[in-house]
Amino acid sequence: MPTPPVEYKDAPPEVRAVFDDIKSSRNVPDVNNFWKYLAHDPAGLKRTWESLKQVMAPGALDPLTKEMIYLAVSVSNGCGYCIASHTAGARKAGMDGAMFSELMAVVGMANETNRLVQGYRVPIDKAFE
């Protein structure tokens, strides 16, 4: 049987501290299931959240672009939960339906041509080396 999620009321202080930071950073009333399951590993929960917060912060790329890249990888990996949560995340950051469709079309073409390249055993152009 799968491990049940860790709810806030049952969580030890170090887990609550991370949950609190997620809720205030994202301005949400509760954390997603992902964090409630990862909470079985408090050190991993803290490390993953802090890494994610750092990686997804606005920088040279804006948050919407980052969310769309995250979604593109999740689609390419076929992770159902991740597709659902990062589609929601990207929409919240500003992705509309037309942008989603174009993102999907790019992901589809990339998966197609990645395999064509490998199957035809195409050597790297000198200009790219």
Identify residues 73-92 at the interface with a second copy (CB under 8 A): 73-88
- Residues in the chain, total: 129
- Pull the structure tokens for residue 90: 């990207």
Residue 54 interacts with a second copy (CB under 8 A)? yes
On the 0-12 / 13-18 / 19+ scale of CB atoms within 10 A, 28 is: exposed
Nearest-angstrom CA–CA distance, 38 and 13: 15
Task: Output the smallest distance, CB 24 to a second copy, in A.
Answer: 18
Among 11, 17, 72, 93, binds a second copy (CB under 8 A): 72
Encoded one letter per residue, x for contact with a second copy by CB under 8 A and - for no contact, window 99-128 reads: x-xxxxxxxxxxxxxxxxxxxxxxxxx-xx
- What residues between 16 and 45 interact with a second copy by CB under 8 A? 32-34, 37-38, 40-41, 43-44
Task: Output the smallest distance, CB 27 to a second copy, in A.
Answer: 14
Contact between residue 37 and residue 5 where contact means Cβ atoms under 8 Å apart = yes
